[in-house]
């Protein structure tokens, strides 16, 4: 997951309503999600996350391009058939990272869970490392990627792979206005993300209803919709 592989503090350069640093409070981070009670589906959507093959988001900044595509592929992880979502990131025009993320949706609640990722980092066209790769099972557990019904102040783990990936998120607002090259979106959800592995790392993401991710640090949405390959 791209979130904690880049250190970002605050909302530098973001065309949003400026807000101060939110207090973490004393509320515990949720990491138990009663997944065993869910009918897990590899395809679907909720208000802020589209998990349907062919859906693509393209975000960019002056030096970074991020392309997120829901592939027509599945992968069984820890006994669950998950949907493969590919993230490709370029820096200064060169391929920097390719990650295949594995998600499934609870049919009853529309919660979308994160079952892990396989990550390739590139340098001059060659794979150099796989930092951040993890899969649910063998001591790792799936986390919550996007709640079907997000609530203010929700705090939850997105990844539960001790020592490798422990990203977590807090819902800050559901009334933001997001200005992007792809247009202006209202009623956006603002999420503060961090990692238990380094509590000094934080960043903000914004999600628009029926669209998904529209801003991630310095990159903002330029294109969205379904593509055919």
- CATH number for the domain including 40? 2.40.360
How many structural domains compose the chain?
A: 1
Per residue in 164-186, is it b (16+ CB within 10 Å) or e — as a string? ebbbbbbbbbbebebebebeebe
Q: And the tokens for 125?
A: 């066209």
Residue 21 lies in a domain: no
Would you call 73 exposed, middle or buried from its count of C-beta atoms within 10 A (0-12, 13-18, 19+)? middle
In this prediction, residue 26 carries a pLDDT of: 44
Residue 158 lies in a domain: yes
Residue 138 lies in a domain: yes
| Contact in structure between 192 and 169 (CB atoms under 8 Å) | yes
Q: And the tokens for 113?
A: 């869970």
Rounded to two decimals, the pTM is: 0.89
Per-residue model confidence as pLDDT tens for the chain (229 residues): 654 444 332 323 333 332 333 334 446 999 999 999 999 999 999 999 999 999 999 999 999 999 999 999 999 999 999 999 999 999 999 999 999 999 999 999 999 999 999 999 999 999 999 999 999 999 999 999 999 999 999 999 999 999 999 999 999 999 999 999 999 999 999 999 999 999 999 999 999 999 999 999 999 999 999 998 6
In this prediction, residue 13 carries a pLDDT of: 31
| Contact in structure between 211 and 54 (CB atoms under 8 Å) | no
Residue 20 lies in a domain: no
Per residue in 17-27, is it b (16+ CB within 10 Å) or e — as a string? eeeeeeeeeee
Q: Where are the alpha helices (DSSP H) in 36-151?
A: none
Cβ count near 196 (within 10 Å)? 16
**Domain span holding position 221:** 3-15+26-226
Nearest to 21 by CA among 211, 215, 204: 204
Residue 197 lies in a domain: yes
Question: Which DSSP state fits 140?
Answer: B
| Contact in structure between 50 and 221 (CB atoms under 8 Å) | no
In this prediction, residue 145 carries a pLDDT of: 98
Residue 98 lies in a domain: yes
């Amino acid at each position: 997951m791209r979130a904690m592989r880049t250190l970002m503090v605050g909302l530098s350069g973001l065309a949003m309503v400026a807000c101060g640093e939110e207090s973490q409070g004393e509320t515990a981070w949720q990491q138990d999600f009663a997944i065993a009670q869910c009918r897990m589906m590899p395809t679907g959507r909720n208000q802020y996350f589209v998990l349907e093959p062919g859906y693509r988001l393209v975000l960019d900044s002056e030096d970074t391009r991020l392309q997120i595509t829901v592939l027509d592929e599945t992968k069984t992880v820890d006994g669950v058939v998950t949907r493969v979502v590919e993230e490709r990131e370029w820096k200064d025009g060169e391929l920097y990272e390719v990650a295949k993320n594995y998600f499934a949706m609870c049919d009853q609640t529309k919660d979308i869970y994160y079952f892990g990722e396989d990550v390739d980092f590139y340098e001059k066209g060659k794979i150099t490392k796989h930092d951040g790769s993890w899969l649910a099972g063998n001591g790792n557990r799936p986390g919550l990627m996007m709640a079907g019904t997000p609530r203010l102040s929700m705090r939850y783990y997105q990844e539960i792979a001790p020592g490798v990936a422990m990203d977590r998120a807090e819902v800050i607002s559901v009334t933001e206005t997001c200005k992007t090259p792809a247009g202006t979106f209202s009623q956006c959800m603002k999420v503060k993300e961090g990692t238990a592995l380094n509590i000094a790392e934080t960043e903000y993401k914004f999600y628009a209803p029926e669209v998904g991710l529209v801003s991630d640090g310095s990159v903002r949405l330029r294109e969205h919709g379904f593509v055919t390959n």
